Amino acid sequence: MENEATASAVEEPGARSRRRGRRPADEVRGDVLRTVGELLLGEGIADLTFERVARLSGVSKTTLYKWWPSRGALALDGYFHAVQETLAFPDTGDIRADLLDQLHAFVHLMTGTPGGRILAELIGESQTDKDLATAYRTLYSSGRRALAGERLTRAQEQGQLRDDVDVQVVVDQLWGAVYHRLLIPDEPITDSFVEALVGNLLGGIATR
C-alpha cells in the first residue's frame, strides 16, 4: 500500500504532490481523512466525490477506492476523524458537568455546522443500503458508542453513577434522544433540551 500511495501522489499532481519520496501509508491516509473532514464540515456532503478528494489530497482514486469502498465509507471515516476533538469526552471528575459539556458541543455540531445534515442523510440512506449501514456502524457509531461508554464506566468506577446501570442504554437516552429530534424534527434541539436530558436521567423523573 505504501508503494501505491507514493506512486499515486506522483501520478496525480495535486495540492500535496510536490512532496517526493515514500510516505508511510498512515500519513497519506491521515491527509485524505483531513481533506475529507474539512470538505464535509465546510460544505456538507453534496459535493464530496472521489474525484475531488483525489485532486485535493494528491492520492489516486484507485488508492482511495482500495481504502474506502464507497463514498459513504469515505465520508464517515473523514467525519469521525474531523469531529473527534470537538466530541472528546472530558473527565474533570464531575460526570454531570462533563456530560453537559460534551452534549452542548455535540448539539452545536448537529445544529450549527453541516454535521447534522451529513449524519441525517447517511443514516437515512443506510435504511435501504446495507453496505452503508455496515460502514456507518463500523466507521462511526460503534466508535462513538465505545468512547461514551468509557467515560460513563469511569463515572461508575468513581462512584458517581449506579453500578447496575448499563452504560449503553444511557447512550440511547442522551445522544440517541438528540438523534431522534434530528431525524424526526417535531421538537427543537436546544441547549435547554440538553440540560433537560441530563437532569432527567441523572436525577430521575419520578417523585420521591
Q: Which of 31/77 has CB closer to its own copies?
A: 77
Instruction: Tell me how far apart the alpha carbons of residues 196 and 147 are, in angstroms, rounded to a whole number.
Output: 22
Q: Which of 18/162 has CB closer to its own copies?
A: 162
Burial tier of 175 (Cβ tally within 10 Å: 0-12, 13-18, 19+): buried
| Nearest Cα residue to 185 out of 127, 89, 117, 135 | 117
Interface stretch with its own copies, choices 22-30, 64-72, 74-82, 191-199 (CB under 8 A) = 191-199
- Can residue 206 be called a binding residue for its own copies (CB under 8 A)? yes
**Shortest separation between residue 140's beta carbon and its own copies, angstroms:** 9
Among 22, 52, 173, 191, binds its own copies (CB under 8 A): 173
Contact 10, 17 (CB under 8 A): yes
Q: Tell me the residue type at 52.
A: R
CA distances from 94 to 77, 149, 165, 185 (A): 31, 16, 17, 31
**Binding string, residues 97-126; x marks residues near its own copies by CB under 8 A:** -----------------------xx-xxxx
How many amino acids of this chain bind its own copies (CB under 8 A)? 50
- Can residue 45 be called a binding residue for its own copies (CB under 8 A)? no
Q: Which of 30/203 has CB closer to its own copies?
A: 203
* Chain CA centroid to CA 62, Å: 25
**C-alpha angle 123-129-135 in degrees, rounded to nearest 5:** 65
- Can residue 159 be called a binding residue for its own copies (CB under 8 A)? yes
CA-based max dimension of the chain = 70
Positions touching its own copies (CB under 8 A) are 95-96, 120-121, 123-128, 133, 136-137, 141-142, 145, 159-162, 165-166, 168-170, 172-173, 175-181, 183-187, 193, 196-197, 200-207
